[in-house]
Amino acid sequence: MTTGQRLIGRDDELRSLLGRLDGVSSDGRAIWLVGEPGIGKSAATQRPLRDIALREGSGPPAWPLLPSWFVFGDADRNIPVAVHRLMAERAGAKATVELAGASHALTVSRPGEVTEVITAAITAVS
């Protein structure tokens, strides 16, 4: 159980968990964090582990070099439609699919149409 950022009665477990994650670099590896409820998995992963995560560069972007396909909803309240269109154009998307009435969570609200775009991309590069 959490109250704000502090785990009630689980301080030792959280310190141990964060200690094990300290020094983990962002070299492309994934971390599978499992454990019983309440040990601080969310507290440890839903914020940067260290301030370096906010300063560390990601390296050269791949999007200018790789083919891309773009699918977005025109009812997205997080990213304006005009920005989606601009990003798709900037990336040189092979296809841009605008889903009428779809929100930001496309894979949840419109999984079939997202799958169609992914399948078309796979077919095009195979």
DSSP string spanning 14-44? HHHHHHHHTT---SS-------STTSSHHHH
Q: Are residues 74 and 49 in the same domain?
A: no
Look up residue 40 and give its two tokens: 């601080």
**Residue 2 confidence class, pLDDT cut points 50, 70, 90:** very low
| Structure-model confidence comparison of residues 117 and 21, the more confident one | 117
pLDDT at 36 over 50: yes
Average pLDDT, the chain: 78
Q: Are residues 76 and 101 in the same domain?
A: yes
Structural domain contains residue 61:
no
What domain range is 100 assigned to? 69-125
Helix (H, G, I), strand (E, B) or coil at 20: helix
**Which pLDDT tens digit goes with each residue over 42-80?**
666 665 556 666 677 778 888 888 999 999 999 988 889
Q: Are residues 87 and 43 in the same domain?
A: no
Q: Are residues 31 and 74 in the same domain?
A: no
